[in-house]
């Protein structure tokens, strides 16, 4: 199936590991030109060297607005106007609803809501001019069912979904789609740090109807399809990919 992504310019945030790296790999395999972004120059350079296709690395931190301002312009100068934006950031610290100080809550707000809004504001005008664009948010199943101990993530990711759903309705007539893809338990280093290695992974896998953790490439391939020419009627949604674990409809 030709997804119509050949030559499209995609900015993928958090692209040096986990789901972000898998998304960058899937888009690159479909012929997209990738601007891979990470907080770490060393890690993003390693990613660029490992991925096939046209991939360039950029350094920015979703929690630091000084590194986000001007990022879209840097990408456009290097590769051309951004046609695909993948919003992705590492999860904030663990804790309950009343845990953490004001600074931690402000940082989570910056990374999970303010930075996505800034980046969308930077890329949407040119997408509108061209009559085509794709914005995909790497969310979490916690926005459907809050996960104990992940209050900072849950609260701000829920707010981001509200913002993006509102944006989706505003830009739908311009050929721009906006969606969130909410992962369940995927085999990433962050998940393993949360659940305790192999033993914890086996325990979690036992709670999933398909009997295993998700593979990051499965997530990346779904995002690639959502970014494709063929998915132009899919917008304003939150798609859950969790192996059937969630009991909610």
pLDDT digits (tens, 9 = 90+) for 74-114: 999 999 999 999 999 877 888 899 988 999 999 999 999 99
Q: What is the pLDDT of residues 209-219, one digit of tens each?
A: 999 999 999 99
Q: Which domain holds residue 177?
A: 9-184+216-241
Residue 46 lies in a domain: yes
Instruction: Taking residues 187-199, report their average pLDDT.
Output: 74
* pLDDT bucket at 6, cuts 50 / 70 / 90: very high
pLDDT in the model for residue 161 = 96
pLDDT at residue 70 tops 90: yes
With respect to residue 208, please indicate whether it lies within any of the assigned structural domains.
no
Would 127 be classed as within a structural domain? Answer: yes
Q: What is the mean pLDDT of the chain?
A: 93
In a domain, 20, yes or no: yes
What average pLDDT does this structure show over 112-117? 96
Domain tally, the chain: 1
Residue 206 lies in a domain: no
- Spell out a b/e string for 95-122, using b for 16 or more CB atoms within 10 Å of the CB, else e: eeeeebeeeebebbbbbbbbbbebbbeb
| pLDDT category of residue 4 using cuts at 50, 70 and 90 | very high
CATH code for position 116: 3.40.50.720
Residue-level pLDDT at 112? 95
215 vs 194: CA distance, rounded Å: 17
Residue 157 belongs to a domain: yes
> Residue 38: CB partners within 8 Å, gap ≥ 6?
14, 15, 16, 17, 44, 47, 57, 58, 59, 60
Asked whether residue 202 carries a pLDDT value surpassing 90, the answer given is: no
Residue 144's pLDDT band, with cuts at 50, 70 and 90, is confident
């Amino acid at each position: 199936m030709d997804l119509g992504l050949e030559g499209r310019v995609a900015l993928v945030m958090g692209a040096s590991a986990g789901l972000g790296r898998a998304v960058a790999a899937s888009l690159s395999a479909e012929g997209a030109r990738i601007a891979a972004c990470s907080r770490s120059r060393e890690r993003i350079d390693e990613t660029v060297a490992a991925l096939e296709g046209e991939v360039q690395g950029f350094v920015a931190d979703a929690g630091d607005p000084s590194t986000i301002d001007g990022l879209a312009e840097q990408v456009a100068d290097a590769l051309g106007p951004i046609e695909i934006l993948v919003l992705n950031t590492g999860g904030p610290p663990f804790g309950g609803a009343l845990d953490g100080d004001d600074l931690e809550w402000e940082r989570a707000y910056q990374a999970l809501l303010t930075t996505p809004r800034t980046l969308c504001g930077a890329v949407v005008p040119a997408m509108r001019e061209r009559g085509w664009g794709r914005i995909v948010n790497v969310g979490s199943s916690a926005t459907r069912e809050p996960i104990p101990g992940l209050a900072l993530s849950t609260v701000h990711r829920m707010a981001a979904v509200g913002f993006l759903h509102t944006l989706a309705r505003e830009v739908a007539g311009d050929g721009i789609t906006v969606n969130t893809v909410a992962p369940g338990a995927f085999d990433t280093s962050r998940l393993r740090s949360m659940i305790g290695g192999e033993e914890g992974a086996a325990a979690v896998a036992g709670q999933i109807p398909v009997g295993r953790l998700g593979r990051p490439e499965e997530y990346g391939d779904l995002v690639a399809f959502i970014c494709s020419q063929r998915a132009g009627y899919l917008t304003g949604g939150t798609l859950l990919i969790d192996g059937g674990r969630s009991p909610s409809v």
